Amino acid sequence: MNRRNFLRTSILGTALAMSPISFSAFGEPTRKTTRSGRLNLSFEPYELKLRHTFNLAKNQRTTTPGVQVQLEFDGVVGYGEASMPPYLGESVQSVTEFLSKLDLSQFDDPFRIEDIHAYMESVAPNNRAAKASVDIALHDLLGKMMGQPWYKIWGLNPETTPNTSYTISYQSDPAEMQKEIDECAPFRVVKVKMGVGHDKEIVEALRRYSDVPICVDANQGWSSKEHALEMCEWLAEKNCLFVEQPMPKEMIDETAWVRERSPLPLIADEFLQRLPDVTRAHGAYDGINIKLMKSTGMHEAYKMAVLARALGMKVMLGCMTETSCAVTAAAQLSPMVDWADLDGNLLIANDRFDGIKINDGKVIIPDRPGIGVELLS
Ligand code: MG
């Protein structure tokens, strides 16, 4: 039997219907499966420890809850991950509850990605990071079965990956601020978080040492259109490339007003989650920030990038604080985008995967099949 026929006749989800789901993705599984041709889903919570405190417009934190996922089919293992920053509304509990409900036994072909997504939607709405964890693991598994990385499957040129930005955030201690600035030195673009009350100080602190282009993420922190426009005009004089989510996501008319007057492009982040949101953003924003944890994974992220391009919009590819697993999965799409913000793995102290590399600021996609990662621990 050749590989294609083998795949057609293999039964994807029977393992989930016939055997209990393991809660330990990487340690001792609760039940080992010895039969071939069955898909095993296992998962475990994995708290991401941040190297620096995150100071965002609306909160502060030192960890991010996560869940690591593993999909095994006939000896081939795909890795996935859910990362749940609090503002997204998902938690370890909600993700593990969703994953526990999944029964993929009705599918007899692991390549039925569309059907598997439709099924996940039918199990429960929302749960985007949970769905992304399955989607990423499925892409890793399928890419490995085909022996190819996803950038190749999508027909993308890995030479055309963008530079990634590296995020610095405001630190009231000057020594800490200096440390942040020193760490961004190898990068060609620096992302500055704003909307926390020190917006101009952080740019001025950086500009004392570096002319590196910046992009600004206001994280919905500017509450009036006049202030947002004034900041865009000020930033345009500071070698800023674009402004992400200048105002609260609900303020779409005000954002459109700023966009008409702003010398800098405006990019939607919190405003936008999934494919239908791309057309909603068109007109009020110049571009979109795609993140796998919002889009339910790589499958819909690819469609979003295609649609945004068709609408003449800019495309940015972002991430949450994640291990190299989900960041490398996102990197597979990076040749399609204008700007990348794929530093999430660099911001954590307990990465457990080898994957994406940054060379002189540029995204390097590993030459491995699937999403391109290797489990280290
Ligand atoms: Mg953002």
**Average pLDDT of 352-368?**
96
pLDDT exceeds cutoff 90 at 51: no
Task: State in Å: Cα 260 to ligand 1 middle.
Answer: 21
Task: State in Å: Cα 101 to ligand 1 middle.
Answer: 31
Specify the pLDDT at position 15: 32
152-375: CATH homologous superfamily?
A: Enolase-like C-terminal domain (3.20.20.120)
Specify the pLDDT at position 181: 86
Name which of 14-23, 90-99, 310-319, 353-362 the model is least confident about. Answer: 14-23
Task: State in Å: Cα 98 to ligand 1 middle.
Answer: 26
Q: Which of 157, 225, 217 is nearest to 192 (CA)?
A: 217
Question: For the whole model, what pTM was predicted?
Answer: 0.88
Specify the pLDDT at position 39: 82
Task: State in Å: Cα 236 to ligand 1 middle.
Answer: 19
How far apart, in whole angstroms, are the C-alpha atoms of residue 133 and residue 238?
A: 38
Task: State in Å: Cα 141 to ligand 1 middle.
Answer: 29
Please write the tens of the pLDDT for every residue from 173-197: 888 888 888 888 889 999 998 887 7
Give the three-state DSSP class for 131: helix
Q: Which of 33-37, 53-57, 138-142 is predicted most confidently?
A: 138-142
Please write the tens of the pLDDT for every residue from 236-268: 999 999 999 999 999 999 999 999 999 999 999
**Stronger pLDDT, 35 or 56, i.e. the higher one:** 56
Specify the pLDDT at position 57: 54
**Average pLDDT of 70-83?**
94
Task: State in Å: Cα 222 to ligand 1 middle.
Answer: 13
Task: State in Å: Cα 30 to ligand 1 middle.
Answer: 38
As a whole number, the mean pLDDT across the chain is: 88
pLDDT exceeds cutoff 70 at 310: yes
**Stronger pLDDT, 29 or 119, i.e. the higher one:** 119
Question: In this structure, are strands 353-354 and 374-375 parallel, antiparallel, or unpaired?
Answer: antiparallel
**Stronger pLDDT, 36 or 356, i.e. the higher one:** 356
Specify the pLDDT at position 58: 60
Please write the tens of the pLDDT for every residue from 5-44: 323 323 333 333 333 344 444 554 433 444 447 788 899 9
Task: State in Å: Cα 319 to ligand 1 middle.
Answer: 9
pLDDT exceeds cutoff 60 at 339: yes
**Stronger pLDDT, 336 or 74, i.e. the higher one:** 336
Specify the pLDDT at position 135: 98
* Element housing 168 (H / E): strand 165-168
Task: State in Å: Cα 174 to ligand 1 middle.
Answer: 25
How far apart, in whole angstroms, are the C-alpha atoms of residue 339 and residue 288?
A: 10
Specify the pLDDT at position 175: 87
CA-to-CA separations, 316 to 55, 59, 71, 84, in angstroms, rounded: 22, 24, 29, 20
Neighbours of ion ligand 1 (CB under 5 A): 217, 244, 269
Specify the pLDDT at position 176: 84
b/e burial code for range 182-208 (CB count within 10 A of at least 16 → b): ebbeebbbbbbbbbbebbeebbebbee
How far apart, in whole angstroms, are the C-alpha atoms of residue 279 and residue 291?
A: 17
Residue 319, both tokens: 């991430």
Q: Give 243: exposed, middle or buried? Use CB within 10 Å, 0-12, 13-18, 19+.
A: buried
349 HSE (CA, 13 A, CB side): 8
Q: Which of 85, 89, 80, 82 is nearest to 126 (CA)?
A: 89
Specify the pLDDT at position 38: 76
Task: State in Å: Cα 195 to ligand 1 middle.
Answer: 11
Please write the tens of the pLDDT for every residue from 194-242: 887 789 998 998 998 889 999 999 999 999 999 999 999 999 999 999 9
Give the three-state DSSP class for 218: coil
Task: State in Å: Cα 46 to ligand 1 middle.
Answer: 23
Please write the tens of the pLDDT for every residue from 340-351: 999 999 989 999
Task: State in Å: Cα 84 to ligand 1 middle.
Answer: 14
Specify the pLDDT at position 56: 59
